[in-house]
Structure 1
């Protein structure tokens, strides 16, 4: 890939994605979704974050295609939508925890 020829839209999306990953609440949600899908209520209860906050953050992550949703009856389940981003997140956490 020739990184010198990135178009403005790609650069903008990369920038918005890094900004999204710069939020502690979004990192907490993404790491919680690392291996399993969860509902808003489950995310809220486990991470002790208001449901409205979780929903707002999931909307941001979904707009950037970092999470996806699946409906089962009246419940919507969320999971990560991009293994590349999750690998990058995992590598960053490993880097930080490395002595």
Structure 2
């Protein structure tokens, strides 16, 4: 027998940013709002938070419009962290896991 791990997330009816941009015309304010929420998400991933409720710094390594979900309020959610790596500044440790792949094949 083997163990299966499942990651369950919220459902975002607008789908990926890629799909959303294919079917939706954006005005400047909406475009800036989407970009701002992506930037906020990246900052949250990249910053190490210290303390008992902290988290390591995380690099996504495969950020693209298909890996960004658009919420119903037009805020974005960074998804598919399968290639992400963690860095702990305190120990200067970089956890790259056992996945040698990086990014999207072109």
TM-score (norm 2): 0.30
Report the structure, 1 or 2, having the larger helix content: 1
Larger radius of gyration: 2
RCO higher in structure (CA 8 A, sep ≥6) = 2
* TM-score under structure 1 length normalisation: 0.32
